[in-house]
Amino acid sequence: MIIPKLALRNLLGAGLRTWLNVLVLSFSFVAIIWTQGLYKGMGDQAIHSMIDIEYGGGQYWHEKYDPYDPLALQDAHGKVPASLKKMIGNGQATPVLITQGVIYPSGRFQSVLLKGIDPSQTIISLPSGFIDVEGEELPALIGSRMAKSTGLKIGDMVTIRWRDAYGTFDARDAMIVHVMSTTVQSVDEGQIWIPLKKMQELTRMEDEATLIIVSKDAVNPPDIQGWEFKSLDVLLKNIRELVEVKTAGSSIIYVILLLLAMLGIFDTQVLSIFRRRKEIGTLMAMGLTRAKIIGLFTLEGAMHSVLAAIVAAVYGIPLLIYFAKKGWAMPQAVDSYGFAIGEKLFPTYSAGLVIGTTLLVLIVTTIVSFLPTRKIAKLKPTDALRGKLS
Amino acid sequence: MKRTVFLIFCFIGIAVIGMAEVPSGDWILKQVDENIGSDNKIAVTQMIIHGRRGSRAVKSKSWIHGIDKSFTEYLAPPREQGTKMLKLGDQLWMYTPSTDRTIKISGHMLRQSVMGSDLSYEDVMEDPQLHKIYDAEVIAEETYLDRPCWVLELSSSETEVAYYTRKVWVDRERFVILKEERYARGGKLLKTTEVKEIVRIQNRWVPKKIVFKDVLKSGKGTEFIMESIEFNADIPSYIFSKAALRK
């Protein structure tokens, strides 16, 4: 017990030098937790939005559906299977029909994805109820990004042209009944939502769908021939990988910070051993083994990280809580990065993140503190007492 | 009374004579196809695409065999020069000299616009016989470009046609379409074509200059100029092979 006490007394006795090291190390603590929390928050927010607004509890894709190949959409539709019809009837799934189309806002030509959805569905949080309109005109729902890029607004009429199941051209004038504001670009950019039944009728794809979204509480979705079930793990794979890449990319910042802090601790240790040769010699003369002296110096160094954790907690916890509650306003350009994070990013800090970061800093500091102390092992007590380093 | 009966007979007589003079729409359409149709064709064409930021010309040479086989080589502009496309049935291959690679393109590409023009690849690369896919009915007689025309309404007799209905103005003497309106299934007018110049080649009347216009889009449309055409040309079979793309 004497070693830890001695180590703490020595450390605090070093005064400003210790506190400078502790402060730099505490910056590393806060920076690591903050940046990791930001990326975790970004991932969590995007995943939550996408599940809520686009993916539901998973999706059945028609076997020919490939979201990255709009040309293949022409064949990517089929009759809704009987087993899924039952789920749709029970409110556990909703079909979506997708086809390629063209709109002509202000005489311009613009390719769009025409999507048909049941206006009364409650599986995803898309405001499909707005297209539940009876009348001559085809009601259409678009997102705010689409509205911005096309110049369309509520009440505007726009001509939509598409090819039906047999390749025959058809066109209708549609009325924009609502412009939704959503964080999920993939239900907004270049898309027009219309009532499913109307779309099935217009495209001569009666009772057909391209994909079927199942509800979040649906359990064990059955295997269906001609349809592939895409679980949330599959659907969210890209976004998770993107977050991992971003997190790895950001690690360079805190690796630099950590390196700076470690450099400070390493220098401090080297200096301590050099300046405290006589003290080492005295301790040896008093009967302390070399291992115990090495332990003392290593513990002194490692205690920097403990103090840094306490200092980081003092100013870091209020700062991180503030960001977690108020969020971090995102610049406009972030909307085009492909992340469904909206106007504000709310960081997420988990216990694992805090404990993991503390352990990481503690281990790295201990190793860095130990390295210079190896010299003590070679030190002769007589030389040390005379202030020599052999 | 006698006078009234006489007048009724006169009207019926005129109507019968009139009806006898107007051939059936299907017969007219067949004449149109016979005038322009050919098993093999080699054509050099130029498309002038009028866009928002100016006009550009695309020149190409096509070897066409019926509706299933065609081979097109782009001659201009320099950026597209040497690009070749081969269509066999619903399969499409494209060769680009810059990459020196041949790639197979989805058959759906045929429905896309050719280099931003008002024409799709199927418009350019296919040569369908209208009488086989449409039922025609004469609905009026009009004069267009100082030529007497029958106005025919075509309604699709097959399910898989691009335009559900068409309205065509056929020259009564030359059996060539001078003007055309293409409609969507819902009845909306989508495209118009207007022939601006006609020439006589190999005893056929051939539109030399046509203006295609996507009426839903603003702009002046796309001019299609037939620089030369050879009907029933002798096309070697290797032309319709993938090997020809790299030659």
Question: Quick check: A68 contacting B, CB < 8 Å?
Answer: no
Query: What does the pLDDT read at residue B2?
Result: 55
| 8 Å CB contact of A167 and B164 | no
Q: How far is CA B227 from the centre of its chain?
A: 16
**d(Cα A243, Cα A240) in Å, to the nearest integer?**
5
Question: Quick check: B188 contacting A, CB < 8 Å?
Answer: yes
| Residue B198 in domain | yes
**Per-residue confidence band for B14, with pLDDT thresholds at 50, 70 and 90:** very low
| Residue B190 in domain | yes
pLDDT tens string B153-162: 999 988 788 8
List the single best residue of B105, B134, B216, B218 to mutate versus A (max A Cβ within 10 A).
B216
List the single best residue of B159, B185, B214, B222 to mutate versus A (max A Cβ within 10 A).
B185
pLDDT at B9 over 60: no
| 8 Å CB contact of B218 and A169 | no
| Residue B12 in domain | no
Query: What does the pLDDT read at residue A98?
Result: 96
Query: What does the pLDDT read at residue A287?
Result: 82
Can you give the CATH number for the domain in which B235 is found? 2.50.20.10
User: What sign has the CA pseudo-torsion A230, A231, A237, A238?
Assistant: positive
pLDDT at A378 over 80: no
Chains A, B: CB contacts under 8 A, how many? Answer: 65
What average pLDDT does the structure give for chain B? 85
> Are the C-beta atoms of residues B154 and B166 closer than 8 Å to each other?
yes
| 8 Å CB contact of B159 and A168 | yes
Residue showing tokens 């401090």:
A268
Nearest beta carbon to residue B216 from set A71, A161, A164: A161
| Residue B133 in domain | yes
Which positions 95-134 of A are in contact with B (Cβ < 8 Å)?
A: 104, 106-109
| Residue B188 in domain | yes
Nearest beta carbon to residue A104 from set B160, B164, B216: B216
Nearest beta carbon to residue A71 from set B109, B159, B184: B109
| Residue B123 in domain | yes
| 8 Å CB contact of A161 and B106 | no
Burial of residue A360, with CB atoms counted within 10 A of its CB: 0-12 exposed, 13-18 middle, 19 or more buried: middle
- The pTM (predicted TM-score) of the whole model is 0.77
Residue showing tokens 């109507």:
B15
| 8 Å CB contact of A168 and B217 | no
The token duo for A11 is 């450390």
> Are the C-beta atoms of residues A159 and B190 closer than 8 Å to each other?
no
- The set of residues, in sequence order, having a beta carbon less than 8 Å from that of B197 and lying 6+ positions away, is B207, B208, B209
pLDDT at B16 over 60: no
pLDDT at A14 over 80: no
Query: What does the pLDDT read at residue B15?
Result: 47
pLDDT tens string A276-295: 888 888 888 888 888 888 88
Nearest beta carbon to residue B162 from set A169, A171, A202: A169
Question: Quick check: A74 contacting B, CB < 8 Å?
Answer: yes
**Per-residue confidence band for A339, with pLDDT thresholds at 50, 70 and 90:** low
Lowest mean pLDDT among A137-146, A182-191, A244-253: A244-253
Query: What does the pLDDT read at residue B209?
Result: 94
Question: Quick check: A202 contacting B, CB < 8 Å?
Answer: yes
**Complex-level ipTM:** 0.80
Task: Tell me what the mean pLDDT of segment A104-124 comes to.
Answer: 91
| Residue B161 in domain | yes
| Residue B5 in domain | no
Lowest mean pLDDT among A44-48, A258-262, A382-386, B226-230: A382-386
pLDDT tens string B78-116: 988 999 999 888 788 999 998 888 988 766 677 777 777
pLDDT at B8 over 70: no
**Per-residue confidence band for A334, with pLDDT thresholds at 50, 70 and 90:** low
> Are the C-beta atoms of residues A193 and A174 closer than 8 Å to each other?
no
Nearest beta carbon to residue B162 from set A72, A108, A168: A168
**Structurally, how many domains does chain B consist of?**
1
- Contact residues on chain B for A170, CB-CB shorter than 8 A: 164, 184-186, 188
* Residue B217 lies in domain: 25-242
Question: Quick check: B217 contacting A, CB < 8 Å?
Answer: yes
List the single best residue of B114, B154, B188 to mutate versus A (max A Cβ within 10 A).
B188
Number of helices (H), then strands (E), belonging to chain B: the values are 4, 13
User: What sign has the CA pseudo-torsion A116, A122, A125, A131?
Assistant: positive
